[in-house]
Amino acid sequence: MMSAPAFEAVACYYCGSGTATKFLTAEDDLTGRPGRFTFVRCRDCSLVYQSPRPTLEHVKSYYESEYIAHRQPSDWGWLAPLFRRAIESLDREKLRIVDRYLRLGPSSAVLDVGCGAGTFLAHVRSRHGCAGVGVDFMDLGDRPALRAVEFHRGLFYDQPFERERFNLITMWHFLEHDYDPMRSLAHAHASLAPEGRLIVEVPRLDSVTFRLFGDRWPGVQAPQHTALYDRALLLKTMERSGFEVLDHLPYGAFPPYFYLFCGTAFRLLKGRGLNMQKAIYAYFAGQLLLLPVLPFLKRRNLAMQTVVCRKAR
């Protein structure tokens, strides 16, 4: 009996074109697992995406055990307090962005797509008393932060949410992982309340760190990332999905320092993988050294971009 293929060719996520040119070839720089992964640029709309890509069944193994967004502070030994503070800082930054565009309260319903360990939902609940709902590809329902959350495992667009249920939908570094982003955005559009907000943060292809690191750019993150968005493609994707973009931020809640550190490490290691259990010491040491300039770097076009949207009128 023949085994199922591990990879599949795909058409452009944005326009459906099947014609593309090679953009770059990347390795799994995070874990060092063998393999080379090809990203192409659509000849018709210029979206950069991975093709062939791992099948859904095959890609699951890349999200197991060591995937950073799924780990808990206790996994980091005596550095757990530092890791916990880093996660808390990230969640505060996310909520600062949200609070600029939407007033939340106990009657609000918040959906976090690609919720990971669920700490952002827990933070929103503690600050605003909101009902939280999380969706993730992996089974993370046992994470402490998700115990007070309505958690759904699986593909976002397969979840049977009521129409116009949510006042806020967030996608913090989700869309670049998605296997059908236009379908997911259509589902978000249907699930968002008329005056609700959708906030999407993704790595930014037309950024300083991509120019620095190229095929070792942490935003490539092969093979988990399926598409790489520059500013123009992200804006067009949102508008084509029925959203009005209220604001585009040339930064995100996620710290750009992470991309500077990992990009440098990936260049040095050349595909051998980054042992985060050991690298975490150098990571925090470097962060302390750069502490005076981190606020200056934070809002520059270094690595991320964020869009804040509502339903088009």
pLDDT of residue 278: 81
Just give the CATH number of 60-217+229-311: 3.40.50.150
pLDDT, one tens digit per residue, over 112-137 is 999 999 999 999 999 999 999 999 99
pTM: 0.94
pLDDT, one tens digit per residue, over 278-310 is 888 898 889 889 888 888 888 888 999 999 999
Residue with token string 């935003």: 219
Low-confidence ranges of the chain (pLDDT < 50): 1-2
CA–CA dist 269, 291 (Å, integer): 25
CA–CA dist 253, 62 (Å, integer): 24
pLDDT of residue 106: 97
Residue extents of the structural domains in the chain: 60-217+229-311
The DSSP-derived string for the chain is -PPPPSEE----TTT----EEEEEEEE-TTT--S-EEEEEEETTT--EEESSEE-HHHHGGGGSSS-GGG--GGGGGGGHHHHHHHHHHHHHHHHHHHHHH----TT-EEEEET-TT-HHHHHHHHHH--EEEEEESS--TTSGGGTTSEEEES-GGGS-PPTT-EEEEEEET-GGG-SSHHHHHHHHHHHEEEEEEEEEEEEBSSSHHHHHHGGG-TTT-TTT--EEB-HHHHHHHHHHTTEEEEEEESS-SS-HHHHHHHHHHHHHHTTS---HHHHHHHHHHHHHHTTTTHHHHHTSSSSEEEEEEEE--
Q: Which residue in 195, 192, 194, 202 sits closest to 237, CA to CA?
A: 202
